Structure 1
């Protein structure tokens, strides 16, 4: 099976080959902008305690950080939304490695700003067997310093692909989380962090499994 990086690169090439030039230019402009302005030092750091959260899952049931930590370490991945092909590849890759995480006692959780009904679609489409939680308004992500308030130029891209963020997220903003993955130990301490303002790049699940080995 191809690595996640290889799958992401192939998808990126597909965008280059198939997207109209003005659309790809807008995509590149937006990524270059966030890469130049995102302050990783302001994002949550390894060694800090994860703020507690209570978020609805795809069925609208509340899930708390305390209930997850009671089972042991948790791997949390933040993704932009079901509409993002790079996010879907990352989620499917985690699902492929889910048994390996379970064998290490790690609970996998994905979080996006999308409403629960959209999260349910994401879960079903990608055949996910782990919790997909809704951080409506990016309130939890903002606590972690990982929110991207996307610029106006992104609206051109969203319109081109018929993505209605207001319907999906329940608000008028274009805010999404910067793709971030955290490994949190059973005491609630963040042990590892991977965050990349280039949403076409993601953490390999095999790297996260190596993190888990070091707990």
Structure 2
């Protein structure tokens, strides 16, 4: 199954577990985000991707400039290790990593989670690529990828799903990045973008490989 198919199967199964009020809050948050037209302001194919210097899961700074000296760079933003859709995506990227490398590409994933939590995500999913911390979503916000969660969704996450974003990110901003993936060529130009307000949808590795 493709990543797209796996994500849909998980979403369909999850929907059967939740009462209508829960589904309405979650779908309402997606609708609100879509209405904000955030993705229209985000970087897209043909744009220059800015240089970043972000710490990895062990706190060591990683530079996009250094990575791009080795070839194309794939950058995938995800919400956190607490998100099942993110973990499904990260495992799919890990499975495709040998093919990415065969095409000379590097891969990094970026999350607002602090390094300790990123390290847990790396270990849980047996990841062999860098997972970087975007503290307070500063980098994602500069790319117009970060958004603030509605209060009812924050309460739902905390009370029903026991998701503590304050602990995960060590802030009280209640912000997350949208589903976003970029492929950047060595010159820093974006050759592929995936932007989606619905967190249940992610860039499929097959589409990334076609670009590479």
Question: Cα offset for 1:102?
Answer: 0.2
Question: Cα offset for 1:116?
Answer: 0.3
Q: Is structure 2 residue 144 aligned with structure 1 residue 183?
A: no
Tell whether the 8 Å contact from 1:23 to 1:156 is kept in structure 2 after alignment: no
Q: Is structure 2 residue 166 aligned with structure 1 residue 163?
A: no
3-state SS in 1 of match to 2:16: helix
Q: Is structure 2 residue 179 aligned with structure 1 residue 193?
A: no
Q: What does residue range 108-187 of structure 1 map to in structure 2 within 5 Å?
A: 108-159=107-158, 160-187=160-187
User: What CA deviation, in whole Å up to 9, does each residue of 1:72-96 have, x standing for no partner?
Assistant: 1100000011111111111110111
Task: Tell me the equivalent position of 2:42.
Answer: 43
3-state SS in 2 of match to 1:97: helix
3-state SS in 2 of match to 1:15: helix
Structure 1, unmatched stretches of 5+, are none
* Counterpart-to-counterpart distance in 1, 2:87 and 2:8: 14
Structure 2, unmatched stretches of 5+, are none
Q: Is structure 2 residue 30 aligned with structure 1 residue 27?
A: no
Work out the number of aligned pairs and report it: 211
**C-alpha root-mean-square deviation of aligned residues, in Å?**
1.0
Tell whether the 8 Å contact from 1:74 to 1:183 is kept in structure 2 after alignment: yes
* Counterpart-to-counterpart distance in 1, 2:23 and 2:40: 29
* Counterpart-to-counterpart distance in 2, 1:71 and 1:188: 12
* Counterpart-to-counterpart distance in 2, 1:96 and 1:124: 15
Task: Tell me the equivalent position of 1:63.
Answer: 62
Task: Tell me the equivalent position of 2:79.
Answer: 80
Question: Cα offset for 1:174?
Answer: 1.1
* Counterpart-to-counterpart distance in 1, 2:15 and 2:46: 39
Q: Is structure 2 residue 211 aligned with structure 1 residue 203?
A: no
* Counterpart-to-counterpart distance in 1, 2:138 and 2:129: 21
TM-score normalised by the chain length of structure 2 = 0.96
* Counterpart-to-counterpart distance in 2, 1:154 and 1:132: 26
* Counterpart-to-counterpart distance in 1, 2:200 and 2:156: 15
